[in-house]
Amino acid sequence: MTEVTELSRPTGEALDTKEVLLNLGPQHPSTHGVLRLVLELDGEYVARVDPHIGYLHRGTEKLAESFTYTQIFPLTDRLDYLCPPSNNLAFALAVEKLLGIEAPIRAQYIRVLMAELARISGHLLITGALPMDLGAMTALVYAMREREMIMDLLEMISGARMHTSFCRVGGVREDLPDGFFPKIREFCDIFPNRIRDYERLVENNRVFLKRTQGIGVISAEDGIDLGLSGPNLRASGVDWDIRRDEPYEIYDRLAFNVITRDEGDCYARWRCRVEEMRESVRIIEQCLDQMPEGPFQIDMPTIAFPVDKDRVHCSMEALIQHFDLSAYGFKVPKGEVYSAIEAPKGELGFYIISDGSQKPFRMKVRAPSFVNLQGLFGVSNARYLADMIAVLGSLDPVMAEVDK
Amino acid sequence: MSGEAPLIPATIAERFSGGIDDLGFAHGVHAFAAPSGMIVDLCRFLKENTTLRFDFLSDICGVDHYPDTPRYEAVYHLYSLANKWRIRIKCGLGDPPRVPSVTGVWRTANWHEREAWDMYGIRFEGHPDLRRIYMWEGFEGFPQRKDFPLRGYKDTLNPFGAEGPPPTQPDLATKDIP
């Protein structure tokens, strides 16, 4: 096995031990899904780590080359399955840039609102899962309760709880349903108090603090060098958020703080996400206040189905366009685009090369979890096997996204 | 996305007189074409230049332009955390594709290059650990190449695959590099 990372052995008396190879995963409950870590152990100290991934590889990029642009949305859902609306948004933005169009303002608000709901949903999982990895089960149960509320909201909007596929090129599939606003306002009222509850559950838990504070420190230089992004990098003190620095959609109209921490340890990464959920609630509230009336889809019958079905029923041209769009999809001008958004896990980028046909010539997904998992090589002081669990949990990889 | 920064092509042209082609600015990204021999120098320059400071490697992507030539391409996406600029470096590669590794410039290149090797068979010379990353050890062929069938090749485990043996590439070992 090649040498991946060398972790210094703590000083002090040590018995002579033989190095042991340990397979952690792919089905070990403390790893997140189908990840296999080959650990070289020196006693209880981890000498090297070699992650083996690919157990969930579905060939999304290859499949996308044989799908029309609209058909690709369900594929993007299945990347980071904790927050499909973000993935949909990232892909839609990339295609819209190639087409040179923009979604109507109301649609942009709906997309941002859903993306922020997804961010909360994704962050809730790690809020509960990291303490669970370290033995404190309770937080996860509570986090799942709130996640259920988000699932209900997403179901209300799209009809699907997990794989929403709600974005379309040029807008969203439908307008928000009746009775949605009171529901989400209720959520926005309840949720900040619930965040306080998680903090009270976990913050004073000495075992959790001992196992995360000062453990698995990644410096800012190492984080940038290893390509970390999102909360993982912000926890190391790098003030970078694509929502603020390269605003897409209507993020430039919203006020929110970019949460950073300086410690760079497991606790800071967990803490960053908890704080970000508060900011997401603020963003959602602003979206609700600012959201204008108007169309939810672009008025271009060659790209989006007309909202007014009478047009299809009464006009021959509209009927032909409708048929053409459903049977063959729309053509995207020749060119290439790289478009990145701030997904819950970090920089989610879509690089699309179009050859002018209805299907992408090449679609590359810059999956944040894939890159973030390399953070395992950047930790400076995770010495014990038990620390690896904390580090892995705090990096928050979603294996579906790692393996694409 | 940030606007166009004319400083980028000017600085690159000043350091690398000729050799690097400016492909223009589109959709928030300034694109350049570089020959494979210059890729490491260019990346190191872009990272260490105090004005440009492209310190973040977003992505490395393999592309197969079959049946056009040059058939392969390695595409690098760089980001400057300080200036909020993005650039793309495109590097056309022959067949078999070989390009020097940039793992010496950014450690994050490690897995990106392993992925491009796994999917396209692009050999990154100087990579410390060029193994397959998604496909299993002993897998034959490079699945994302355009001449690789979508459903793979027919065998006992894959009755719906395409007929015919996988293309052999005598020049390139498709097995893992030890």
* Structural contact between residues A100 and A390, judged by C-beta atoms closer than 8 angstroms: no
Chain A, chain B: beta-carbon pairs less than 8 Å apart: 98
- Compare all CA atoms of chain B with the CA of A53 and give the residue at the minimum distance: B134
Side-chain half-sphere of A295: how many Cα atoms within 13 Å?
14
Nearest CA-CA partner of B102 in B54, B136, B66, B171: B54
Complete edge-to-edge strand list for the sheet that includes strand A19-24: A19-24, A36-42, A45-52
Residues from chain B that touch A61, judged by Cβ atoms under 8 A, are 119, 144
Cα gap A328→A281, rounded to integer Å: 40
Helix, strand or coil for residue A404? Answer: coil
From B166's Cα to the closest Cα of chain A, the distance in A is 17
CB distance from B110 to chain A under 8 Å? yes
How confident is the model over A250-279, as a mean pLDDT? 91
Tell me the nearest-neighbour CA distance from A348 into chain B, angstroms.
Answer: 10
- Terminus-to-terminus CA distance in chain A, angstroms? 25
Contact A266, A390 (CB under 8 A): yes
Sequence-ordered list of residues with C-beta below 8 angstroms from that of A372, at least 6 positions apart, any chain: A228, A229, A230, A232, A345, A346, A395, A396, A397
Mutate to test the interface with B, among A233, A357, A364 (most CBs of B within 10 A): A364
Closest by CA position to A227, among listed B13, B107, B52: B107
Q: Can you give the pLDDT at residue B135?
A: 87
Predicted pLDDT of residue A353: 93
Q: Given a cut of 60, is residue B137 above it in pLDDT?
A: yes
Q: Flag whether pLDDT at A351 surpasses 90.
A: yes
pLDDT of A27 reads 63
> Can you tell me the distance from the alpha carbon of A395 to that of A270, in angstroms, rounded to the nearest whole number?
9
Q: A55-83, pLDDT tens digit by residue?
A: 888 889 999 999 999 999 999 998 888 88
Quote the pLDDT of residue B175.
Answer: 45
Per-residue exposure over A307-326, b if at least 16 CB sit within 10 Å of its own CB, e if not: eeeebbeeeeebeebbeebe
Radius of gyration over every alpha carbon of chain A, rounded to an integer in angstroms = 22
Question: CA nearest B115: which of A334, A322, A313, A227?
Answer: A227
Smallest CA-to-CA distance from B30 within B10, B56, B14, B48 is with B10
Please state, rounded to an integer, the average pLDDT across all residues of chain A: 86
CA dist list (Å): A313 to A296, A306, A319: 21, 11, 7
Of all residues in chain A, what percent carry a pLDDT higher than 70?
A: 93
Q: What is the pLDDT of residue A30?
A: 56
**Cα Rg of chain B (Å, integer):** 18
pLDDT tens for residues A139-179? 888 888 889 999 999 999 998 888 988 988 988 988 899 88
* Average pLDDT of the residues in A271-277: 92
Give the closest residue to A375 by CA, choosing from A209, A231, A210, A214: A231
- Could you tell me which residues come within 8 angstroms of residue A273 by beta carbon, excluding any fewer than 6 positions away? A123, A126, A127, A231, A396
Question: Any CB–CB contact under 8 A between A332 and chain B?
Answer: no
Q: Is the pLDDT of residue A317 over 90?
A: no
Give yes or no for residue B162 having a pLDDT over 70: yes
Task: Say if CB A12 and CB A44 are below 8 A apart.
Answer: no
The amino acid occupying position A100 is G
| Contact between residue B38 and residue B12 where contact means Cβ atoms under 8 Å apart | no
Per-residue model confidence as pLDDT tens digits over B5-34: 777 777 877 788 778 888 888 888 889 898
Q: Tell me whether A338 touches chain B (CB under 8 Å).
A: yes
| pLDDT value of residue B148 | 86
Whether A55 has its CB under 8 Å from any CB of chain B: the answer is no
Contact A223, A375 (CB under 8 A): yes
The pLDDT tens digits for A230-253 are: 999 999 999 999 999 888 889 989
| pLDDT band at residue B173 using 50, 70 and 90 as cut-offs | very low
Q: What is the mean pLDDT of residues A293-311?
A: 85
More confident residue, A29 or A223: A223
Task: Give the residue from chain A lying closest to B129, CA to CA.
Answer: A2
Nearest to B134 among A57, A63, A366 (CB): A57
Task: Report the pLDDT value the prediction gives residue A1, as an integer from 0 to 100.
Answer: 38
> For B69-98, b where at least 16 C-beta lie within 10 A, e where not — what string?
eebbbbbbbbbbbeebbbbbbbbbbeeebe
User: Where does the pLDDT of residue A185 fall: very low under 50, low under 70, confident under 90, or very high at 90 and above?
Assistant: very high
In the prediction, which pLDDT does B49 show? 85
| E strands in A112-200 | 167-168, 171-172
Q: Dihedral, CA atoms, A177, A179, A182, A187, nearest 10 degrees?
A: -60
What the block records as the tokens of B23 is 């492909």
**CA-CA distance, B106 to A359, in Å (whole number)?**
33
> Cβ separation of B144 and A62 shorter than 8 Å?
yes
Say if residues B99 and B126 touch (Cβ distance below 8 Å).
no
Which chain A residues contact residue B1 at CB under 8 A? 246, 248
pLDDT band at B154 (very low <50, low <70, confident <90, very high): confident
Comparing C-alpha atoms, which of B165, B8, B166, B162 is closest to residue B84?
Answer: B8
In chain B, % of residues over pLDDT 70 = 90
Per-residue pLDDT at A17: 59
User: Could you give the angle at which helices A105-133 and A385-395 cross, rounded to 10 degrees?
Assistant: 170
Q: Are A50 and A21 in contact (CB under 8 A)?
A: no
Q: Does B122 touch chain A if contact means CB atoms closer than 8 Å?
A: no
Name the band, by pLDDT with cuts 50, 70 and 90, for residue A3.
very low
Q: Which of A402, A383, A286, A305 is nearest to A33 (CA)?
A: A402
Mean pLDDT of B139-157: 85
Average pLDDT rounded to a whole number, residues A360-368: 92
pLDDT(A320) > 60? yes
Tell whether B157 is within 8 A of chain A (Cβ): no
